[in-house]
Structure 1
Amino acid sequence: MRPFYVWVAVAYFPAYELARAPTWGGALGLAVVVAAYLLSIRLASWPLLVLLAVAALSTGLAYGGKWLYLLPLVSIACGIVVRGRALPYALAAITVASMLVTLRAGGGEDGVAAVAWGTFIAGVVVHLTMRLSEAREELARAAVSRERERFSRDLHDLLGHTLSLVVVKAEAVRRLAPRDAGAAAAQAADIEEIGRRALSEVRAAVAGYRGRGMADELAAARLALEEAGVRAEVAPSEVRPPPDADVLLGWAVREGVTNVIRHARATRCVISVRDEGDRVVLEIVNDGAGASFVRGNGLKGLAERGAEVDAAAEGGRFTLRVAVPA
């Protein structure tokens, strides 16, 4: 909802009028409009939307002039709070009410037309913006779901035959052990070799699932951030980490950027990589620091693989720092 908070700045115009001719009623009305607007778009609350509409229409009717600038705030909040088929009717009602208030306050035909257009279009634009954001999030969730299904299928194909073979070999060991210890030991050795090979294949599959390497993940991260409306700044780097570190750093980029997109409400994200000799350090710094670090399974997995994961909020920005052995 962050982009919509800025529209509360239209309260400057009635505030200027209020400074020139102070009234307790005007001060209270303006305070209620501002508070109800900010809280209604943050909480998506119907009662607060109704309070906002009553306060904005009442102050516009009572004072007219620049107080009419508050009316589009009602339709903006409406575009966020009201969903489904009720939205067109709600926007129409707010637009008609705004037109009547403007006419009653002496706004004239031009004023009525301007208020009607601004009020209705504000709500429509906000609604479309919300729908596009929701669609983007739904596509992201669908992509993650498809990737998980693909990985599940790959893992099933990878382990199905191997586990069946292990069962057969184990049955052979059980049958041979009482009468032919050498043959049983040979079968047990086969089980050990099959298990080692399967473990290696699973690790390779998981590494491929977790990340494609740092360079590829940085390119994907830039695209994902830009699609989410976040300005991405990836500092150029000549660091060429060894294969294991490269996979971990790619994994860290994916997890960190996912947190930024899903939880931070950021507008800017800076990603940098530097070589410190015995380790390679990745930093992801973003504004919107409120909730940009979620220590989910991905970041826990990084720590389990030997990466140092550190996160801190620093005065309006958030820094995720991941260091891996070089």
Structure 2
Amino acid sequence: MDAMPTGTGTEMATKDDPGGQRCRRTPWWKRGPMEFEQEIEHLNAPDGGALIPWILMVIGPGTDVLKGEVPVPWLAAAGLAAFCALYVCTIRAAFSPRRLPTTRLPYVLLGALAALTLSLSIGYGGNFMLLFVLVSLCAGSVSRSRRTLGVMLMPLSAAAGTTSGLHHEGFWSTASLSYGTFLSGLVVSVIITLFHAVDQLKRTRQELARNAVAEERLRFSRDLHDLLGHTLSVVVVKAEAARRLAPRNLDAALTQVGDIESVGRQALTEIREAVTGYREGSLSTELDRARSALAASDIEVVLQESGPPLPPQTEALLGWVVREGVTNVVRHSGATRTRIELHADDGQAHLTITDNGRGLTPPPAAGTTATLQTTRTGTGLRGLTERLAAAGGSLTSGPAPEGGFRVAAVLPVGEDV
């Protein structure tokens, strides 16, 4: 035996497929939404089933055979049976899901079907000439391009008209048969083309929906990183300051504890706003928080502002830059002095954050000497770069000329930024 059933009957292991991967199907009670969607798409895929009932057109020539109106009835009956078998096989081959662009089997079957139809029509005439319409339906199913369809339908239509003329069916009968043969294949081809176009549009819509979900997840993760990274850094810094001040200045320590409480409450509000997607940061608020966080870390801050007021959207984006830049200074730089410069001119807003810390060189581990530099860019800076690029701006970061680290943001100034 080449195949032995394994499991619960939902998969089959064979000699060529030991694991039963090709035949495995998940039971319906264990399937997820995506599996049901894939199965529905598979059921909706064209399989040629709608063309099979057209085979009933052989009733016409079959009636001629039963009435004995054709010579050698048994030969005509055998020809009709062969035609039916070839017709079904051609349709199935044309719509096979495993069909490749280079597969020749549908064309071979179509050629055999056309030859058999031509022989039967020439030999018997009458209703047998209706078989040309069925051959045309197969041609419309098999063809994959307009040129191929034209190459097949034109000779087929001409053959139908010529055969009808040989049997002296009259001008209108000949013209109707020729036109009907050509139109049948053309209509089937157009319907199949429209079906594939609709299927492609459906897949495109699903892909756009997936991209929208991915973009929203990216936005939320980016906002959450920026919000929590900055907030937790401020909380840690102020908690350390409170611990240092508590033994000698309880009032100052309590002030730091109060700041921790207010920062936490503000963080909760911002997270709720980020979840709903309506948060717009205030640049002045972020600058005030930056001063507080840097002062709590014993880092001197120099703030220089110049230029006209900025639009709300520009301020919101620059507020994110201030938040991320100051967070990195507090957490990673080891700096004692930070400079924040903001100015707007020539239709652009420039924000620069510079510190005198370690720059890109990480602190040496205990018992070791740092000899290499890291050029790794944090997740926050990558997210900011994407934010500013989407708004037509840019973000650069790296070692400052006089040492330390420098983050520079440039944004166009406009009402619709």
Measured after TM superposition, the shift of residue 107 of structure 1 is 2.7
Quote the residue 2:182 is aligned against. 120
Measured after TM superposition, the shift of residue 28 of structure 1 is 2.0
Distance in 1, matches of 2:226 and 2:75, equals 80
- The question of 1:49 aligning with 2:115 is answered no
In structure 2, do the counterparts of structure 1 residues 173 and 46 end up closer, same or farther at CA, with 3 Å as the change threshold? farther
Distance in 1, matches of 2:270 and 2:135, equals 65
Measured after TM superposition, the shift of residue 120 of structure 1 is 0.8
Quote the residue 1:88 is aligned against. 150
**The one of 114, 119, 124 aligned to 1:58:** 119
**The one of 129, 132, 138 aligned to 1:71:** 132
Quote the residue 1:152 is aligned against. 214
- Whether the 8 Å contact between 2:227 and 2:271 is mirrored in structure 1 is no
Q: Which amino acid counterpart does residue 133 of structure 2 have in structure 1?
A: P
- Whether the 8 Å contact between 2:55 and 2:134 is mirrored in structure 1 is yes
Q: Which amino acid counterpart does residue 54 of structure 1 have in structure 2?
A: A
Quote the residue 1:138 is aligned against. 200
TM, length-normalised to structure 2: 0.42
Distance in 2, matches of 1:170 and 1:161, equals 14
In structure 2, do the counterparts of structure 1 residues 12 and 193 end up closer, same or farther at CA, with 3 Å as the change threshold? same
Following TM superposition, the consecutive aligned residue runs of length 4 or more in structure 1 with deviations greater than 6 angstroms are 172-183, 192-196, 198-202
CA-atom RMSD, angstroms? 3.4
**The one of 103, 106, 109 aligned to 2:165:** 103
In structure 2, do the counterparts of structure 1 residues 119 and 107 end up closer, same or farther at CA, with 3 Å as the change threshold? same
> Counterparts of 1:116-265 in structure 2 under 5 Å?
116-168=178-230
CA-to-partner distance for each residue in 1:231-263, whole Å, 9 max, x for gaps?
A: xxxxxxxxxxxxxxxxxxxxxxxxxxxxxxxxx
Judging by fraction of residues, say which structure has more helix.
1
SS of residue matched to 1:107: coil
Measured after TM superposition, the shift of residue 11 of structure 1 is 0.6
In structure 2, do the counterparts of structure 1 residues 149 and 20 end up closer, same or farther at CA, with 3 Å as the change threshold? same
How many positions carry a matched residue from both structures?
A: 202
Distance in 1, matches of 2:235 and 2:124, equals 93
In structure 2, do the counterparts of structure 1 residues 117 and 169 end up closer, same or farther at CA, with 3 Å as the change threshold? same
Distance in 2, matches of 1:139 and 1:8, equals 32
Distance in 2, matches of 1:33 and 1:175, equals 86
Distance in 2, matches of 1:124 and 1:87, equals 8
**The one of 20, 38, 42 aligned to 2:88:** 38
Measured after TM superposition, the shift of residue 198 of structure 1 is 9.7
Measured after TM superposition, the shift of residue 171 of structure 1 is 5.8
In structure 2, do the counterparts of structure 1 residues 48 and 177 end up closer, same or farther at CA, with 3 Å as the change threshold? farther
- Whether the 8 Å contact between 1:162 and 1:198 is mirrored in structure 2 is no
Point out where structure 1 has 5 or more consecutive residues left out of the alignment: 203-326
- Whether the 8 Å contact between 2:117 and 2:131 is mirrored in structure 1 is yes
SS of residue matched to 2:137: helix
Distance in 1, matches of 2:167 and 2:196, equals 39
**The one of 42, 47, 51 aligned to 1:4:** 51
In structure 2, do the counterparts of structure 1 residues 107 and 162 end up closer, same or farther at CA, with 3 Å as the change threshold? same
Quote the residue 1:247 is aligned against. none
Rg bigger for which structure? Answer: 2
In structure 2, do the counterparts of structure 1 residues 199 and 40 end up closer, same or farther at CA, with 3 Å as the change threshold? farther
- The question of 1:16 aligning with 2:63 is answered yes
TM, length-normalised to structure 1: 0.52
Q: Percent identity over the alignment?
A: 25
In structure 2, do the counterparts of structure 1 residues 194 and 19 end up closer, same or farther at CA, with 3 Å as the change threshold? farther
SS of residue matched to 2:179: helix
- Whether the 8 Å contact between 1:10 and 1:70 is mirrored in structure 2 is yes
In structure 2, do the counterparts of structure 1 residues 38 and 173 end up closer, same or farther at CA, with 3 Å as the change threshold? farther
Q: Which amino acid counterpart does residue 161 of structure 2 have in structure 1?
A: M
Measured after TM superposition, the shift of residue 25 of structure 1 is 2.0
Quote the residue 1:322 is aligned against. none
Distance in 2, matches of 1:171 and 1:51, equals 78
SS of residue matched to 1:35: helix
Distance in 2, matches of 1:174 and 1:30, equals 88
- Whether the 8 Å contact between 1:91 and 1:123 is mirrored in structure 2 is yes
Point out where structure 2 has 5 or more consecutive residues left out of the alignment: 1-47, 95-105, 244-255, 278-417
Distance in 2, matches of 1:118 and 1:125, equals 10
In structure 2, do the counterparts of structure 1 residues 195 and 30 end up closer, same or farther at CA, with 3 Å as the change threshold? farther
Measured after TM superposition, the shift of residue 81 of structure 1 is 0.7
- Whether the 8 Å contact between 2:141 and 2:188 is mirrored in structure 1 is yes
